Amino acid sequence: MPKICLCLTGPTIEKNLEALDRYRKVVDLVELRADFLEPQEMFRIRSFPEKAGLPTILTVRRLQDGGRFDQGEGVRLVIIAKGLAFADQDKRKNFAYVDIEHDLQIPAIQEAARIFGTKVIRSIHCRDGVPANLPELWSSLSSSPFEIPKLAAHARGIEDTERLFRFFGSLETGERIVTGMGDYGFCTRILPERLGSMLVYASATGAGLKPGAPGQLDPDVLRKQYRLGSDDASVDLYGILGSPSVLGSLSPHIHNAGFAELGIDARYLPFPADDLDAFMRLAELLDIKGLSVTVPFKERVLSLLGESAMEVAAIGACNTMVRSKAGWAGYNTDAMGFRSALLHFLGRTELKGLRACIVGAGGAARSVAYTLHGLGVEACVINRSLPKAKRLAEEYGFPWAGMTERAVELIESYNDLIVQTTSVGMEGGQPGDPLDWYQFSGGEALFETIYNPAETVLLKRARDSGCRVTNGHTMLLDQAAAQFRLFTGQDYPDQVQL
């Protein structure tokens, strides 16, 4: 079972020990990042393992490998050597591991490590992506039976992540450490067992320390939200596919809390993806059982579906994929989530004759148009790209316009309700206000489908003008509950506090 290794990046030994105390119960070992220590503290590291009371990795990471150490190599070797040699040679009090880069071959250090019972982790840091010659590189790293090979590669895209899982998933078990860094490598930090990695590094952010590498998660997130340490290899996997914002998505929190409450052995992860084909290969490899689909893939996944629910074809967008005999079955829970959240927001059970403006013409807008049409609402569509506005609007006989001042007249005659569906203002998306040329009268109701941030620039401006406003939070919860039912066959538990 993979262990959680707390990466300690404090400026002093004391600060690191304080941070460790905060997490002691949820981590298995620690890494002392001596390169983050103040200069005078670097020479006090020898007593650290005894004070920590947990197996400890000593690392003095160089700048070129993503660390902080900027002094000469001679000084670095002295620090490592001092750290290894414990005065009374009591191996229990020594560093359990020392992380040494692949290009550092110093027999005296390797010999000292052996004498003091410290195992060498032989590491390579690939900051420019997963190298093309991964198999050759890995075999050169793993050439000594006395050393543990470690690869930390920055995933430049989801294809890099897929290559990591494909390569390491096919290797025999054995001691090794593998991490994909950065947003696209996020899932490697939740699924170390699928890479055969003996540990996953975590950062003490809850204790105020910086992550030791991009993408490291807090141990509490790993244990509580992703339940690392349960029967990892057999757990069913689910996830949310999107770009660029899924790491800030609330969906993992919602679904994982539901699984935990009902005792379902499953885990739900965010998968930021820049390439749909590469992601789908990864989904096959990991045997992902179900997916939430968000910007910008809701329409693009249609061609992957072997079967789909009636509303998917009617809306022309799919936000839920579930494995079926036909490959993937597609559903759309956005429409149902929007419908219930909208009726709740307006405090009405029917909306016949209401006049509404749909802002945007992407996948989310398609669900909104379908729902409003079904409710008998008279709507118009405005969108940055005119052909897309026209295509969506014509399906329902709605008028349309581009997203410019020229649309003001149209909005003004369809402004009982404005539904904002674009990604403008979303965390991780383009900042700003998609309607900055429109003056609210105060009589409009604004339904902003974005929920992160809770208040977009547009929502704040509408509220300040006296409009009734809501964000996409309730819609998210309602559509997620419907997804949960499709994923598990069970109702989302009421008792979960979100």
What is the chain's percent helix, strand, coil content, to nearest 5? Answer: 40, 20, 35
Least CB distance from residue 26 to ligand ATR, whole Å? 36
* Residue found under tokens 């992407």: 362
Alpha helices in 317-422 (DSSP H): 334-346, 363-374, 386-396, 408-412
C-alpha–C-alpha distance, residues 213 and 198, integer Å: 18
Alpha carbon distances (Å) from 129 to 153, 180, 333, 353: 6, 9, 36, 55
Looking at beta carbons only, is 340 or 421 nearer to ligand ATR?
421
Least CB distance from residue 292 to ligand ATR, whole Å? 12
Q: What are phi and psi of 309, to 5 degrees?
A: -70, 160
Least CB distance from residue 241 to ligand ATR, whole Å? 11
Q: Do 157 and 133 meet the contact criterion of CB atoms below 8 Å apart?
A: no
Residues 6+ apart with CB under 8 A from 311: 331, 332, 335, 370
Residue 298 known to be catalytic: yes
Least CB distance from residue 221 to ligand ATR, whole Å? 26
Task: Copy the structure tokens of residue 155.
Answer: 């995933």
Looking at beta carbons only, is 337 or 362 nearer to ligand ATR?
362
Least CB distance from residue 406 to ligand ATR, whole Å? 15
Q: Do 425 and 433 meet the contact criterion of CB atoms below 8 Å apart?
A: yes
Least CB distance from residue 82 to ligand ATR, whole Å? 55
C-alpha–C-alpha distance, residues 350 and 493, integer Å: 28
Looking at beta carbons only, is 215 or 472 nearer to ligand ATR?
472
Looking at beta carbons only, is 276 or 403 nearer to ligand ATR?
403
Least CB distance from residue 139 to ligand ATR, whole Å? 42
* Residue found under tokens 């150490």: 69
What is the pairing mode between strands 320-324 and 327-331? antiparallel
Of 108, 119, 102, the closest CA to residue 65 belongs to: 102
Q: Which residue is nearest to ligand ATR (CB)?
A: 362
Least CB distance from residue 463 to ligand ATR, whole Å? 21
Buried b (16+ CB within 10 A) or exposed e, 294-331: bbebbeebbebbeebbebbebbbbbbbbbbeeeebbbb
Alpha-carbon dihedral of residues 186, 188, 192, 193, nearest 10 degrees? 130
Looking at beta carbons only, is 164 or 276 nearer to ligand ATR?
276
Looking at beta carbons only, is 83 or 337 nearer to ligand ATR?
337
Looking at beta carbons only, is 96 or 295 nearer to ligand ATR?
295
* Residue found under tokens 């006296």: 466
Catalytic residue among 15, 93, 150, 298: 298
Residue-by-residue DSSP string for 144-156 = -TTEEEEEEEE-S
Chain positions contacting ligand ATR, by CB under 6 A? 295-296, 298-299, 360-365, 383-385, 388, 403, 421-424, 430, 434
C-alpha–C-alpha distance, residues 184 and 111, integer Å: 38
Looking at beta carbons only, is 187 or 381 nearer to ligand ATR?
381
Catalytic residue IDs: 298
